[in-house]
Structure 1
Amino acid sequence: MNIKELKKSIAFKGMDENDIEQCIKSLNANEKEYKKGELILSAGDITSLFGLVLSGSVTIESNDIWGNKTIMSHVGKLNFFAETYAILENEPMLVDVCANENCKVLFFDTSKLKNTNELYEKWAIKFIRNMLYVSANKNIVLSGRSFHISPRTIRERILSYLNTVSIKKNSKEFNIPFDRQQLADYLNVDRSALSHELGKLQKEGIIKFRKNHFILNTF
Structure 2
Amino acid sequence: MKRLQLIKLSFIAFAFFGLAQKTVAQESLKIATIDLLKAFDSYWKTKLSNDQLKERGADFDKARVGMIEDLDLMREEYNRLNAGAQDPANSEEKRAADLKKAQEKATEFKRLEQQVIEFNKNAQKTLADQTQRLRKGRLEEIQEVISAKAKELGYDLVIDSSKDVLLPRTPTVLFNTEKNDITAMVIEILNKEATGKYKPAEDRSKSDSDPQPAEK
Alignment TM-score > 0.5, same fold: no
More strand by share: 1
TM-score scaled by length of structure 1: 0.26
Larger Rg: 2
